[in-house]
């Protein structure tokens, strides 16, 4: 299947640069990336699920607001969850909601959790890959020293000089996100070039997600997550949900999947030993297998 790219204007003034394949009019899968990634990370899965033998889906991966050639508002408040959800609601309506499934990783998952809670009629299923549920993440940031330490990088990313520091030495620090906790043989020179091309155009947008969110470890000068409460009705998910969790994720610890069934009655949890936060790069065919089984279930 050939992946096409296009600029998708949305009614509220945001434009998302998109990648996709598959026939319009077929059931739709939408894939949301995280930081410091971009829509291209989903290419193998877009091609896989568009094939007739794998469901013949219409597959779309937008670059989220602030990334690549999507709109990049200057105001940090434009990256709050309620604004990000608007983009995906509008995209789903353009593509033909309800979606067969919304699939998301990392920050894309933060958007997807909110989307599924606020607009359950717009997606039949939800699939989350190493993106913490808001309630368990809040619990970890407030009460778990291990998760607080693992999330310390978030306080670095909100610094006003974060862009400058991350661009030093040809993005040495950003590339180390992928290799700091283990080898990354998937990180070829070609893949590095794809990432650098995205970061050259849109680094501030991705950092603004962190700046706009109080979900970060508390500090003496910043209460962060310590100042937040989340009523259960704001974090409950009423559609069938698959959570795939790579257990060697050093930034988002396995404790974050404990207690998920309190918020998600129809939950399928797949724990994956030996995989890291970058499981989409590491094991795309494994993700395709588990997602395919979930879609058929």
pLDDT in tens, 78-92: 999 999 999 999 999
Please tell me the predicted confidence (pLDDT) of residue 92: 98
Please tell me the predicted confidence (pLDDT) of residue 161: 98
Please tell me the predicted confidence (pLDDT) of residue 32: 99
Q: Supply the range of the domain harboring residue 112.
A: 4-296
Please tell me the predicted confidence (pLDDT) of residue 289: 98
Give pairs for 10-13: CB < 8 Å, separation 24+: 10/87, 10/90, 10/91, 10/94, 11/90, 12/86, 12/90, 13/71
Predicted structure pTM score: 0.98
Domain count, the chain: 1
Please tell me the predicted confidence (pLDDT) of residue 183: 82
Please tell me the predicted confidence (pLDDT) of residue 186: 97
Cα(54)–Cα(48) distance, rounded to whole angstroms?
7
Cα(199)–Cα(37) distance, rounded to whole angstroms?
9
Please tell me the predicted confidence (pLDDT) of residue 52: 97
Please tell me the predicted confidence (pLDDT) of residue 180: 78
Q: Which residues of the chain have pLDDT under 70?
A: none
Please tell me the predicted confidence (pLDDT) of residue 182: 76
Cα(18)–Cα(20) distance, rounded to whole angstroms?
7
Cα(61)–Cα(278) distance, rounded to whole angstroms?
17
CATH code: domain of residue 128:
3.40.50.1820
């Amino acid at each position: 299947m050939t992946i096409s790219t296009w600029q998708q204007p949305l009614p509220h003034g945001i434009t998302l640069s998109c990648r996709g394949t598959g026939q319009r009019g077929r059931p739709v899968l939408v894939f949301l990336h995280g930081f410091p990634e971009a829509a291209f990370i989903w290419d193998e899965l877009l091609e896989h699920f568009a094939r007739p033998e794998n469901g013949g889906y219409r597959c779309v991966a937008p670059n989220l607001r602030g990334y690549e050639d999507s709109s990049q508002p200057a105001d940090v408040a434009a990256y709050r969850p309620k604004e990000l959800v608007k983009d995906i609601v509008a995209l789903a309506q353009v593509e033909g909601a309800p979606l067969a499934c919304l699939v998301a990783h990392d920050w894309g998952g933060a958007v997807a959790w909110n989307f599924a809670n606020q607009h359950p009629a717009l997606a039949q299923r939800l699939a989350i890959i190493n993106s913490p549920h808001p309630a368990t993440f809040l619990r970890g940031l407030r009460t778990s020293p291990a998760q607080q330490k693992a999330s310390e990088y978030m306080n670095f990313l909100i610094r006003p000089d974060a862009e400058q520091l991350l661009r030093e030495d040809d993005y040495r620090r950003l590339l180390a996100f992928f290799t700091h906790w283990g080898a990354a043989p998937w990180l070829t020179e070609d893949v590095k070039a794809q990432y650098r091309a995205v970061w050259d155009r849109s680094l501030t947008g991705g950092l603004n997600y962190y700046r706009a969110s109080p979900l970060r470890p508390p500090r003496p000068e910043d209460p962060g997550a310590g100042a937040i409460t989340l009523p259960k009705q704001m974090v409950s998910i009423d559609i069938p949900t698959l959570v795939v969790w790579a257990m060697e994720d050093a930034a988002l610890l396995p404790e974050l999947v404990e207690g998920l069934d309190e918020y998600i009655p129809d939950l399928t949890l797949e724990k994956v030993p030996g995989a890291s936060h970058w499981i989409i790069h590491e094991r795309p065919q494994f993700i395709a297998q588990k997602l395919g089984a979930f879609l058929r279930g």
